[in-house]
Chains A and B, each alone.
Chain A
Amino acid sequence: MSGPAPGDPVLSTSGVTMIFGGLTALSDVNFRVERGSITALIGPNGAGKTTFFNCLTGIYRPSRGIMTFSPEPGRSIQLRKLAPDRITRLGVARTFQNIRLFNNLTVLENVLVGCHSRMKAGLLGALLRDRGTRDEERAMAEFSYRLLERYGLAASANHVAKNLPYGAQRRLEIVRALATRPALLLLDEPAAGLNIAETRELDELIRFVREREGLSILLIEHDMSLVMSVSDSVYVLDYGVLIASGPPAEIRRDPKVVKAYLGED
């Protein structure tokens, strides 16, 4: 599957509003991610993009609004009021603007933590290490290793995550998110801090993830050339309000967007 299938959103929100004390970080956000698409969310600093992700993933509970997630056609789930871990298990995975790896665990273990919800071993399994537990542990280690292999990180599988170069850490965060087997992947500024060559690799990586894993991607990004090249549609947020949405070529020419970015009055 490639390209969006119109009329079948994997995610749709309506009226999402997030108020912190007196600050309205998000106001009435109506958003749609088509199944199989790469959708970008852009906007100036402090526009509320990360806040939107935090609402979707249950870290914040929006003050108002509906968020509907559809892991597969014909099934829809209300995300509001669900705990973050529950949302992940339903099929929404994310990365963080500031890399949040498990620094002192190895690269492979980072991915294994992502496999947590698919494993069953409990306390007794861990203590007795019975056949089932061993098999499961081994199958997941292998799965994780193959996933690392697929994304060019296998050679570092046994390194402690914090020793990876920055670009590889960003990539590992994506791989770790993939290990939870999401239907929707949220990437928060994956290009932040990458150099030009790495950004170009990221462009390829994002397309590859969509094709290979067959999922939908929602992307926050400041790098306009990346956004324009990779995304099927773009939403623009400014001071918590969606000011424009549409295909990248239109967004680029939209006077409101230009104004928000250049700060004209």
Chain B
Amino acid sequence: MAQDTQENLPVPPPPAAGAVPVSAFRRLLGELRAAALSAVWFSVLALPLVVFRINSASGRIDYLWGRLPRLAAAAFLATLTWRFLLRRVGFSRVRRAVVEAGGPPPEGARGPEGSWLTLLDRAPAKRAILAAGALLLLSIPFWATPYVVTVMITALIYITLGLGLNIVVGVAGLLNLGYAAFFAVGAYTFALLHANLGLGFWACLPLGALAATLLGLLLGIPILRLSGDYLAIVTLGFAEIVRLVLVNVGFTNGPRGIRNIPPPSLLGIDLNGSVKPLLVPRGLLHADMDLNKVFIYFVILAIVALTVACVFRLENSRLGRAWLALREDEVACQAMGINRTRAKLTAFALGSTWAGLAGVVFASQITFINPQSFTFLTSVMVLSIVVLGGMGSIPGVMIGAVVLILLPEYLREFSDYRMLIFGLIMVVMMVFRPQGIIPSTRRVYIYRPEDHAGAPAGDALPPEGARP
């Protein structure tokens, strides 16, 4: 290498990415137009729900046009505030990171990473919200009704499923429409091992996860040459095959399913017999509460916490970056030295692991499983959670699961309209926020030059011989 080589390339640094400044008036006009547009859209979409009402007494349709202006105004204001919040909060994260990286603060920089979630990223606020959330979740069984606990368990199971599928679909970009099959494998592993060998929950939890992972590998090897739509169709077919096997094979007891699946045991303590009498008189537990359910609740809560930690670590690792690169561009990903097949396979199998875990918990929660619990609709539900919440985003998936599981429960009173409202929410979301409720944000690496003062001045490429 020539001695007089300069250290850095002598070209002016390119302007930092960011929006071209627009005058405040123009921006206001743009915001108003966007809000008006969304109000119109919203009104059109909400028309059948809000304006037309079937009068069951007379059997005719009433038209309540008077409601429409109010709805439109509300949509208009909501959009305006939403967009305003988005704009305000968006700046902070990027600017802070870049300042700390030693670069100049970008003028009005706002990447897609700017969203209202960045509010959570301000450390004290974030910690406070996380602590409050954790406290709330931990306390639920001690003040809520059994019904609420049951619904929460379902929601947490779906969060686990959503986070698992998120690795496959959101992070690695492999469209899997047969996720319910892996869920079923987890549940049936537990049910069958218990019925035939008498194994308990704790033995079956890792075995169920392992079975689902192995099945993921087994299926993954032949099909991962496919991508996009083809992959979706094959996974769909595969799930159907698994379901049909469960229906038709003798030892799974066919459509009648398997009963009497036990709850997890806590050191052999009879929770309802010995612990419950201590709690109920002190007002610490609802009298009708099944303590086994409460224990399941804590188990699945712990699993969710573990899952979040795992997925977060995976996403910000060498492996996770390889998956993201795969999602972004397969050809470029290979050109970076990443083994495409291996990356796909790990994502696919690892995603299935969590379906297996969730399956075991699910089986022990409802104590009775049959193939009907694992249909295409289940796969669609989990996929909707991922898409609605925000592909590749952990908090997004959690919110998505809560919305999609809890909403139908609360909408039970409007059971006639339930599916309609459900569908409407999905449509509205896809129109206004296709990136999901909380879009995924990329990790910002903070680089402080003084940390590395002792490092050699960037002689980054070692001599040729050092190459493997």
Contact = CB atoms under 8 A, between A and B. Distances in A.
Contacts of A123: 319, 346, 350
Interface in A81-138: 83-85, 88-89, 91, 93-94, 96, 100-106, 108-109, 112-114, 116-117, 119, 121-123, 125-127, 129, 133, 137
- Chain A CB count within 10 A is highest, among B106, B332, B333, for B332
Contacts of B440: 104
B113 interface: yes
Given A150-B7, A153-B14, A154-B103, A214 B461 contact: yes
A160 B444 CA distance: 10
Contacts of B329: 100-103
Interface string B290-325: 000000000000000000001001100111111011
Contact of B337 (A101, A103, A117): A117
Given A102-B325, A121-B319, A164 B17 contact: yes
B9 A105 contact: no
B444 A212 contact: no
Contact of B338 (A103, A113, A125, A164): A113
B410 interface: no
B335 A126 contact: no
Interface size class of A (residues with CB under 8 A): 35 or more
B2 A2 contact: yes
Interface stretch (B36-44, B415-423, B452-460): B452-460
A165 interface: yes
Interface stretch (A26-34, A140-148, A218-226): A140-148
A231 interface: no
B11 interface: yes
Interface in A202-231: 204-205, 208, 211-214
Contact of B340 (A85, A122, A127): A85
Contact of A100 (B16, B331, B462): B331
A100 B293 CA distance: 51
A168 B319 contact: no
Contact of A113 (B9, B13, B336): B336
B120 to A, nearest CB: 18
Interface of B: 1-2, 5-18, 94, 97-98, 101-104, 106, 109, 111-113, 310, 313-314, 317-322, 324-325, 328-329, 331-340, 346, 350, 440, 442-445, 447, 452, 455, 458, 460-462, 464-465, 467-468
17 contacts: A57-B335, A85-B335, A85-B338, A102-B325, A105-B442, A108-B445, A117-B338, A126-B320, A129-B317, A137-B317, A142-B452, A146-B458, A152-B13, A155-B16, A158-B101, A163-B17, A204-B10
